[in-house]
Structures are given as structure tokens and as C-alpha cells.
Structure 1
């Protein structure tokens, strides 16, 4: 044991558990931790300009880099400001540890109105966290941090939070630091694997449906190996894109909207092996047999009744499946010609303009290993089914949270995790201005993200829908700053496209600069994406 402050115990334990970066915003309740971070040279602290960005940056760091992200905020308004980012991480099953301050010990739960008091903030953030804990005693800090890390590394990865009052961070006590946590992620039971193998061997047209859990488990090679053995095409959710490279004929993409060719192909499957997905948007036919691999038992069969569950780590379970398949039968004959024909047919349908031409231009300018963060804007929407992805963890969305403002700060976190890889954020003008102040963070810390801003001077999706179905747009038009002057004011490089299809060439140029770059792409109103569900119209005559 050694004598140290609670802040030192916190930082030392984080360091032992593999933390190398903390995103945060310093404040009066955090001085004990800030002093400890200042002395811990192995942990980098990145200060943001708003707490909302902290949640997003920690999420981007986790999903791009494959570890977990860490944030640090003051209590009350500081913690509440992170909840947009935490809700995205929660939706995307992203492992984020948020560390919050608290009011002084004597005031906790008293509701007396001390600085930053929210009573009770553990309850306030419960809907967007998997696990929460308040730590009052200094000696309990190492175990609490390790419990948080255990929650991040076991079961379904989702945000967790620990909170400490200022005295716990600042005062000294005798503390025993713990050895780093070792976690073994087990596969499904052997009995269940045997049953799944029997179902797969009895199928004639199996298909694999890959979700974001493939990335979380690092199951990319295992998915490809099982798909190859069964000659099963791999359909992906938006979050699962990159589970198998789109260079590989096994990958059939993510365009499974109603009436699409891929949707029709998926409906012909007699067994669907779903890996790391809730299957909420898959829309399987009721009579289709699904084998669902998920680390979270609560997700088994949530969205499809005829489901056989394999509860366990996706990679470990797929490796078990492959071993048993190899023992039971030789590889199936190749269906490569069939898949290549389907891929060509699907590619020929990507004709909606101007989205298709802009997306092709952008893909031509973005390197294959670049990380693309697709925001809630027309081109961001279009990339979900149609953006080719060639490497794991290189395409990030806000999942079902669907947050405006998510793309740019999430991209900053991804770039911190992967500094040697290009990172591109796709935003609209409305969404970008949620966190435009983080251009200052990018400059201060040399986080060289390319921020694309598709500018239609409106919340374009809302404006179009109100015009076309609700009698006219209202409240959706925007008066924007001059984005080139904004870039200059922050000290980033500004570029403006003459036409939207110049975007690919501008990205190629931006990549040579090794600086943060803002590229404005003026656009007009775009048509409703063909894959959107039918729009609800007013019921009143």
C-alpha cells in the first residue's frame, strides 16, 4: 500500500488498465484528478471547448481504436452535457468510461443548491449508461475503476460512469493499487454450438447478417472464414459495414431497404446467421430461421421470434462454429459467380442524384484505410447503405441515436486513436455548427481531421419533408456564417467546392496538408433517399 490522493489512485489505476488518453474539461471539483493527470506523463489529456464533445470524442476513440474511451467532467451540467454523446455510444455499443465529479460529501442527496448540484445524477444518466457507481472513500477508488473497466470489457459494451466528490479526489489515504484486469471472453456453450451447426448444415441458402458487434469482438476474420466455408453471402447493417471487405465477393453490402435487390436476396435465405446485431432493421420474414450470436442474452430474439440463440463472444463463438463445421463436412461448392452477379446488379441501382455522383466522387478521394464518420445529413444518410467499406472500423455512424452534431467531434476522437490514418467527417451545415467550436481543439492538439460541410442553408431533411408533405417548410431555414472566414478565424485550412462533385479532389488535396481542414460543399435541396421508409402524412383532411 502507498499513501496518495484519490485523484492519484484514479489516474494510476486508469494507467494500469491501459488508458492512454483522457478527454475532458477541467473544473473546480476536479482539481485532485487534474493534478494527478499533470504528473502522469503516460496519459494524454485533451481539453475540449464543450462537454458535449467529450462524450463524442471518447466514443470515436473507442470505436476507431478498439479500446475504450475515457471522459472527465464536472458534475451536474458538465455531466448532463455529455449525454448526447453517451446516448450515441449507448446505441452503438461503444465502451466509454465517463468520470464525473460530485458535490461535497456532506451535501450529496441534500438538495441544498450547492454548485453544480443535480440530485440525483446517477438516476439522471441511467438511461444512457450500462452501469454507474459513486465512490466516496479513497481506498475504494482502484476497485471502482476496475469494476468499471470490467463492465466495459464484458457483456455488451456500453457507457459506464463513476463519480467522486472533491474530497475523495483531493484528500490522501493509504491505497492498495490492483493488478490489471484480465478478461476472457468466452464463446457460446458447446451444446448450443452443436445445435447451430445442425441448423446450418441442413440449410441450402444460408446468409450471414453482420452487425456492429463484429467490430466490438474483433470477429472480422472469423466472419469471413465461416462465410467462405458455408459459401454464405454477408449482408451488413450500417454499423456492421466493414465486417467483411467490400473488395471480397462474400460482402453483399448494406442496402436492405424494402424492394431492394439485396432485401429480396435476404428473404430467400432459409437460415440467417446474425452476428452482433439486434436485427431491429433487418426485417427478416417471420418464417425465416435465425441463429443469433450475441454477447447479451437479453438481445436474443428481441426482434425476431424464430430465433435460436448463441450467447457468447462473437469471435470465440464463430471460431467454435467453424471448428465443428470443418469436423462435420467439407467446404461447400463456390457460389462466387452468383454473388458477383448480385453485386453488379446492386451497383447498377445506385443512381439517385445528386447523392450518387457526390458519393462516388468522395469515395474516389478517400483512401481505403481512412476512417469516415457519417453524420445526419443527406450524404451521410446515403452512405449508410451505399458507401463501400474496405477495412474494419473505418465507417462510424450514430446508430439509432441519430444525433445531429455527432460527426465532427467523433471524428476528432477517432483521429486521436488512429493518428496515422486519414479521418473524414461528413456533416451538414446545421449539424456541424453544434460543435464547430472544436475546431479550436483540433488546432490546439494537432488533430488533423478533414471536416466536410454540405451547406444547403437549412435543416434540409426537415425542410423538404415539411414542404412535400405538411404544407410548407417552417423553422428549418438557416442563416450561416461564412465558413471560409470561420475556418480562418480558428486557424484551420478552408476550402470551398465549386461544384459538389469536386469534393473527392478537394479531399485528396487536403490530405497532403497534414493540418485540420474544413471543406464547404454548397448544395441544393436533395430528393428524399430511396431507402427511407414511407413518410407519414397528415391525417386531417
Structure 2
């Protein structure tokens, strides 16, 4: 008996004609490009290099849009953001050796954040593989080894006939939950040799669904229905799975308060009466979570930042829904459900009972009042005012991308993203330089809305070359640079820990003049004028820069014992 999944799709007449009579001049690189096109790609990011020129020559014969950045790491960040905002796999074309290795920090961030990036890198010719002694430019003894600890899967190619299947397998891997970056590696001579294979016309790389085991969701539903004080922690997996609506329905059915992790910003409405918001670096919130008799964790591994620097000690029963098997029960014993957030929440909604708790909303208001009182007592009006100005200036539908800078640390806890999937930061791996190239990638995905990037002056210097990319492609990205004269986060950390900071002070350029030298309009603003200047820049087509000279401070979490304090840190402060 033939089942649907056994059926082989029939090629169209045009596909058959193309396969039987391929156009002249095709090389191995064309097989890469044709496969990407067959998988549904429309845009590729990258940077050319000697060993990768076969792929870039093939782009000339395709209708794929190529967006080239000035540094491979930045190209990786742009692909990461494209994958995050579209939910589609983002192709990233790289050369061998230094060009490939330069992208590793971006791929680490994509892995931590679950961004589907298909990195396709070149290699030295086949005869030079494995030894590291042939003297080829960019030669490494084992280039794959540099990627194995970073990406989700590695797909080496050694012959032209392997290219379509390897790229398709990588594509499927990137888009199968948990999403993540993958690495395809193709030697230079395979990319440049004449292609004798038919044109690649259609490729099947449908990602596998990761559904929960029904006996586990039945137990979880029973625990939640009978709970006296259920609470939900919503992580980035909820946003990636487009499960925010299901999360809200479940929380309302259970009268369960919801806190979102920094990676899960937007997974639950900020102003909802059950919203605990994102105050995870706060002992009052930690105490509230510890008091839950059933804690449902969806799409989070409860890592360092999501557990108040591993000071969180749950006393009740933990139910954890997580697509990444390695993160299941990795930090706390739990009823572990290995599944993507959307089907798991669907299963819970089908079986969980309804419980009404008239005290839940009042407990949420009480907690948020404690948090507000503590922050207000620390004399941080400047920081709160700057963040509020950014929120007022940014259109609700516009995505924002935040570097590892003090204003971003504030935003993790205190910024209302207003919609799922609109706030992104580098807190997964924590590398500098993410915000601006990532914002460019998001703008490529949708040029119809402005995009905001937020950096400090230290992080901005990692990405300053991409002003040329923004201008070349006329991308609607406004870059807010908070200039405090150095690495502000590290300055605070070192001063707190050692009494003085070393290596944190920076000589920096005139960012306004520098941006204008790229043909990008720029303005220097003040905290009082920020809202208007930022709103005007976001409303103006094309790229722009807003520079805010200001020294911001981070808020201080409470002591581990729960007393209000303005110095000691839970873990990282």
C-alpha cells in the first residue's frame, strides 16, 4: 500500500526541460545557489573570499538577493536577525580559514538564541584537506572542528553530487526545533568545477515536528489544574514557536501569573493583569517564583540570566517544556517534556482544567509595586527617562536590536516590547557588536518599517563599517549610540569587584561626523531631546544615527536575603 509520504512529487514540464537541457557555464557554485532557491530562499548574506568565489559567481546567474556586509561576523549577525524575524532559514556564504572563523561569534549567538542560519563555507581544494601541510592560503588542519562545538550540525561536501543533499539536510536541521545555525563546507575546486548534474529544481527539506508525549502532558495538566499557586516562566522558545497566543490562553485559564525571560520578551502582554513582566534580576521576583507550588517553564533552560544568576531555588514542582534536549532538567529537576512550545501548549490547552484564583492579579500588583519602589529608591531617573523616551519614539510594530550595553540591560527587565518577536538582543551568547548588523538583517527582511539598533560607543566600534552597508542598500535602520566613553558595563563590574576599572576607557570618534562621512544623516541629542530626535530619525527613510552622550548606571538587584539594597549583586552585579 502506498502512503502519502511515499509519493515522489512529479516535476513540472519547465523543471523537466531545465533538468534535461541545463544552461551553459554552470559550476559547482550553481548547485549551491539552485538548491537554496529550490528550498525557498530569496536572500543570502555573506562576504566573498578566494575559495568561495564559485558560489558568488553563481549568484550572478540567479535571482537571489545578495546582501554583503563588511565583516563576516556582522554578516552572521544580519543572517541571525533575518532568521529570527522571518522564522525562515537565512543563508550565509563565507570563505575558508579567516573568513570562516570570523563568523564564529555570530554563529554562537545564533545557537544560543535559536536562530536558523545556514552557513555555507568554502574549503581549500580537496587534495589539501586533512593535513594542514599543503601550504594553501587559509588552510586549517580541521576547519570543521572549529564549528562543531558552536553549530547544531555539520555537513561536509567532497563532490558536486553531494551538494544538493548536504544543503537540504542542513536546511532541515536549521529549521527543526530547536532552531539553530548549521555549517556546510565545500572545497574550492568542487565549487568551481563545471557542473555536469541537472539543474536543481525542487528540494524537500521539511523540518520535523517536535511534539510532546501525551502521558507527560496529561501529568502536567493534572498538576497545573490542582495547583494552588501556579506560575509560568515563558522563554524565547515561546516566541520562536509563535505560541504567544496559546500561552496567554493557558495563563488565563489557570489564573497563572507569567514572567518572561529576557529572550522571551513579548511572549506575554506586558500590561496584562497576570504579567510579572521581566524583572528576573530582582529578588522579589525570584521569591515569588520560588513560592509557586507548580512552576511551568516553557521554552527556557533556566540559565544564568533566567535564574537570577543561579540563585533561584524552586520549592514546588517544576514542569519544563523545552525543545533543546540538552537543556531539559539541566539546571533543576523537573517533569521534563521534550517538545516545541506550540504543540506542547496546544496539548495542555486540550486537557488542563479551568481554575479561578481571585488573588492572582492582586499578588502580581503587589510584586510589581515592590519592584517599582526598589528601583525608584535608587535615584535612577535619568536611566528610566531615557528608556521611556526610546519606547515612546519607537513604533509598536518596529523591531529593536540591543547590544550588550547598559541601556540594553535596563531594557531586558523594563522595556515593553508590545508585540512578540519585536525585541532582540545578544544576551544569548553575550558578544559585542550585535545590534547594528542584526538590525540591518531585519530591515532586509521587511523594508516597509523602520528598525532600531541600540549600542554603546564600545560596541558601536565593532560594527561601524556597516554604515557603508546601510547606505549601499538604503536600509531603514536608525542607530542609537549611547556614548559614555568606554565599556560601561565592564566599568561598573570592575569598579564593584575591584574598586577601580582597567582597560575600559576608550578614545572614540565623533560619531556624528563619522556617520555623515558614510552619507548617513546623524544628530547629537540630549536626554531631554531624545524622544523627538529619535522619532524624527525613525520616520525618515533610509539609515540614520542618533548619538546620545550620557553615562548611565545599572540598577542594583536586592540582596540574596531579600532586603532592599543598592550595592550587592545577585551573582553578576
State whether structure 2 residue 337 is matched by structure 1 residue 310.
Answer: yes
Give the equivalent residue in structure 2 for 1:47: 68
Aligned length: 530
Measure the CA separation in 2 of the matches of 1:89 and 1:330.
38
How far off is 1:399 after superposition? Answer: 2.3
How far off is 1:247 after superposition? Answer: 3.3
Give the equivalent residue in structure 2 for 1:380: 408
Q: Which segment is superposed worse, 23-32 or 116-125?
A: 23-32
How far off is 1:8 after superposition? Answer: 1.4
Change (3 A) 1:186 1:378: closer
| RMSD value, Cα | 2.1
Q: Is the 8 A contact 2:393 2:531 kept in 1?
A: yes
Q: Is the 8 A contact 1:138 1:168 kept in 2?
A: yes
Which residue of 37, 44, 48 corresponds with 1:15?
A: 37
How far off is 1:389 after superposition? Answer: 1.6
Give the equivalent residue in structure 2 for 1:76: 97
Q: Secondary structure, in 3 states, of the residue corresponding to 1:368?
A: coil
Give the equivalent residue in structure 1 for 2:294: 271
Measure the CA separation in 1 of the matches of 2:250 and 2:499.
52
TM-score, L = length of structure 2: 0.88
Measure the CA separation in 2 of the matches of 1:74 and 1:536.
37
Measure the CA separation in 1 of the matches of 2:271 and 2:490.
35
Which residue of 250, 254, 269 corresponds with 1:245?
A: 269
Q: Is the 8 A contact 1:355 1:378 kept in 2?
A: no
State whether structure 2 residue 513 is matched by structure 1 residue 485.
Answer: yes
Structure 1: 5+ residue stretches without partners? none
Measure the CA separation in 1 of the matches of 2:206 and 2:384.
47
How far off is 1:303 after superposition? Answer: 0.6
Give the equivalent residue in structure 1 for 2:219: 195
Structure 2: 5+ residue stretches without partners? 1-18, 559-567
Q: Which segment is superposed worse, 278-287 or 510-519?
A: 278-287
Change (3 A) 1:18 1:247: farther
Which residue of 524, 527, 541 corresponds with 2:551?
A: 524
Give the equivalent residue in structure 2 for 1:421: 449
How far off is 1:286 after superposition? Answer: 4.0
Change (3 A) 1:434 1:536: closer
Measure the CA separation in 1 of the matches of 2:571 and 2:361.
37
Please give the per-residue CA displacement for 1:479-498, whole angstroms capped at 9, x wherever unaligned: 1111111011011011111x
How far off is 1:533 after superposition? Answer: 3.4
Q: Secondary structure, in 3 states, of the residue corresponding to 1:360?
A: helix
Measure the CA separation in 2 of the matches of 1:123 and 1:274.
34
How far off is 1:345 after superposition? Answer: 5.1
Q: Secondary structure, in 3 states, of the residue corresponding to 2:522?
A: strand
Measure the CA separation in 2 of the matches of 1:214 and 1:469.
36
Which residue of 436, 439, 443 corresponds with 1:411?
A: 439
Give the equivalent residue in structure 2 for 1:173: 196
Measure the CA separation in 2 of the matches of 1:244 and 1:90.
23
How far off is 1:414 after superposition? Answer: 1.5
State whether structure 2 residue 143 is matched by structure 1 residue 143.
Answer: no
Q: Is the 8 A contact 1:457 1:480 kept in 2?
A: yes
Please give the per-residue CA displacement for 1:377-419, whole angstroms capped at 9, x wherever unaligned: 1111111111112111111111241111111111111121232
Give the equivalent residue in structure 1 for 2:530: 503
State whether structure 2 residue 328 is matched by structure 1 residue 294.
Answer: no
Change (3 A) 1:191 1:279: same
Q: Which segment is superposed worse, 480-489 or 28-37?
A: 28-37
Give the equivalent residue in structure 1 for 2:234: 210
How far off is 1:456 after superposition? Answer: 1.1
How far off is 1:507 after superposition? Answer: 1.2
